[in-house]
Amino acid sequence: MTQQTPKELKRELLKERVILATAAPVLALAVAVALTSVILLATGKNPFEPYSLMVNYVAEWPDVQVLVINQTVTYYFAALAVAIGFRMNLFNIGVEGQYRLGACIGGIVGFNLPAPGVLKMIAVIVTAMVVGALWAGIAALLKVTRGVSEVIATIMLNAIAAAIIGYLIQRDVFGHQPEGSNAINTGELPESAWFPGIPYGDYEIYGFLVIAVLCGVGYWVMLNRTRFGFDLRAAGASESAALASGVSGRKMVVIAMLASGALAGLIGMPVLLGESHTFMSDFPAGYGFTGIAIALLGRNHPLGMAFGALLWAFLDKASTTLDDNGYESEISVIMQGIIVLAVVIAYESVQRWGLKRQQQKVGAELAAAAKKNEEVAL
C-alpha cells in the first residue's frame, strides 16, 4: 500500500467533497431524464426528441435565452431566501407571501412617494425587503415565544398576505385601472424609477442579475467567513452544541427568518422594476415554492443554486416549444417534479454513503500508519 502525504490526502479529500457534492444532483437529473423518457415511451411518444427540441429552441432564439436568464435571476433570489432558512434548520414556506406582499407594498410606496426617480426605486427595494422581513418576523416571533412551528405559521401567513394584497389593490384603496384594461395595478412607476437592464443583442436582461450575483457572493462570505455565519451554521447543524457554545438558538431563529424574509423581498423586484413597473393583480406567483425546490436541488450552495435556478428556468421557458411539436409542455413539469423527489432521495443516500466512506478511509489510514509504526518498533 502506498503511504500518502498529508497534502495528497488533503487534495483527495477535497476532490471527494466536490464529487460528493455534485454526485447527488447529477444522479437526480439522470433519474429524472430516464423516468421522463419512460413516461414518454409509455404514451407512445419518442422518448428522446423533446430534450433536443428544447435545447435547440433555446439555442436558436435570443429572446428565449433572455427569458431563461431573467427567470433564473428571479428564481435565484427565491432559492437564496429559502436556503438561508434551511441553513438554520428553518423551513420558510412563507417566501411566497413575503415576496408578494413586499412587492405590493413596495409598488404602492414607490408610486405614491413624492421623490425623484432613483429615490423611488430605492424606496421600492427597501420597502419590499423590510416588508418581507417583517412578515417572516411574525413567524419567527411566534416560534421563539410560543413554540409555533414556522412551517405552519408561514403557510398561514401566505394566505393572510394574499388577502391583504387583494384588499390593497382595490381601486378605492391603492389600486389603479389603466384605460382600456380590466387589470388592476398599484400605479405605473415613471421610467426614471426603473432598474436599468443589461443589453443582450436586441433585448435586455434584468439589471438585477448583478444584484443576484452580489447576493450569492455575500451569502457565501457571510456563512463561511464571518463569526455570525459560523454561529448560524453551528445552530443549524446541532442546536444543542450551538447552545453549549454560547449561541442563542432563539436569536438565530429571529435573525435567520428576518434575513430570509428580506431576501424574499427581492424576488419580485426584477419583474417590478425591470418589466411590469407596477404591482398588478396578475403579478407572477409561485416563485416562493419554486425556490424551495431549487434550494434543495442546489444544496443551499450559492453555485449549486445558480445551476438549479438555470435548469428550472430552462425547463420552464423551453417547454413552450413542445406544444408546437406535438408534445405536451407538461413534460417539463413532470421532469421538475421527478427532479425534486429524486434529489431528496439522492442527497440523503449520497451523504450517508460519503460519511461512511470517509469513516472507513480514516480507519484505513490509521490502521496503515499503526502497522507501519509497529514494524518500525520491531
Partner 1 sequence: MRPVRVLNGTASPAPPPHPHHHLLRHLLSSAPRECAITASTETAAVELRGITKRFPGVVANHDIDITVRRSSVHALVGENGAGKSTLMKILYGMQKPDEGTITIDGEQVSFSSPGDAIARGIGMVHQHFMLADNLTVLENVVLGGEKLYGIGSRARKKILEISKAYGLGVNPDALVEHLGVADRQRVEILKVLYRGARTLILDEPTAVLVPQEVDALFTNLRELKAEGLAVIFISHKLGEVLSVADDITVIRRGTTVGTAIPSETTPRALAELMVGSELPVPETTESTVTDRVVLDVKGLTLGAEGRKPLLDHLTFAIRAGEVLGIAGVEGNGQTELIETLIGMKHADSGTITLDGEDVTAWPTRKRREQGVGYIPEDRHRHGLLLEAPLWENRILGHVTEAPNSKGFWLDPKGAKADTERIVEEYDVRTPGIEVTAASLSGGNQQKLIVGREMSHTPRFLIAAHPTRGVDVGAQAQIWDAIRQARHEGLAVLLISADLDELIGLSDTLRVIFDGRLVADADPATITPQELGSAMTGAASGHLEHPEDSPPGNIADQNSAQTGGEDR
Residues that bind partner 1 (CB under 8 A): 1, 4, 6, 9-10, 13-14, 224-231, 233-234, 237-238, 240-241, 243-248, 355, 358-370
Sequence letter at residue 340: V
What's the min distance (Å) between Cβ of 302 and partner 1?
17
Query: In this structure, what DSSP letter does residue 280 have?
Result: B
For residue 278, the minimal CB distance to partner 1 (Å) is 40
Taking the complex as a whole, how short is the minimal distance between the CB of residue 105 and partner 1, in angstroms? 32
| Cα separation values, 93 from 152, 188, 236, 343, Å | 9, 30, 17, 18
Shorter beta-carbon distance to partner 1: residue 345 or 362: 362
Q: For residue 62, what is its C-alpha cell?
A: 435570443
Q: Which is nearer to partner 1, 149 or 226 (CB)?
A: 226
Q: How far apart, in whole angstroms, are the C-alpha atoms of residue 324 and residue 316? A: 15
CB of 359 to partner 1, least distance (A): 4
Instruction: Residue 154: name the closest of 77, 238, 249, 82 by CA.
Output: 82
Closest approach of Cβ 292 to partner 1, in Å?
A: 22
Rounded Cα–Cα distance for residues 303 and 216 (Å): 8
- State which residue, 6 or 114, has the beta carbon closest to partner 1: 6
Contact between residue 24 and residue 343 where contact means Cβ atoms under 8 Å apart: yes
Q: Which of 96, 22, 125, 81 is nearest to 215 (CA)?
A: 81
11 touches 5 (CB < 8 A): no
Determine which helix (DSSP H) or strand (DSSP E) holds 205, and give its type and residue range.
strand 203-205
Which is nearer to partner 1, 15 or 170 (by Cβ)? Answer: 15
Closer residue to partner 1 (CB): 247 or 297: 247
Min dist. Cβ of residue 139 to partner 1 (A): 25
Which is nearer to partner 1, 237 or 333 (by Cβ)? 237
The DSSP secondary structure of 25-70, one letter per residue, reads: HHHHHHHHHHHHHHHHHHTTS-SSHHHHHHHHHHHH-HHHHHHHHH
Instruction: Output 21 or 198, the one with its CB closest to partner 1.
Output: 21
The answer to whether 364 and 87 are in contact (CB under 8 A) is: no
The nearer residue to partner 1, 14 or 34, going by C-beta atoms, is 14
Q: Is the dihedral of CA 350, 352, 355, 356 positive or negative?
A: negative
Looking at the Cβ atoms of 330 and 357, the one nearer to partner 1 is 357
The least distance separating partner 1 from the CB of residue 7, rounded to whole angstroms, comes to 9
Nearest to 188 by CA among 276, 271, 100, 274: 276
Q: Shortest distance, CB of residue 246 to partner 1, whole angstroms?
A: 3
Residue 224: CB minimum distance to partner 1, A = 7
CB 110 within 8 A of CB 121: yes
In contact, 313 and 71? CB cutoff 8 Å: yes
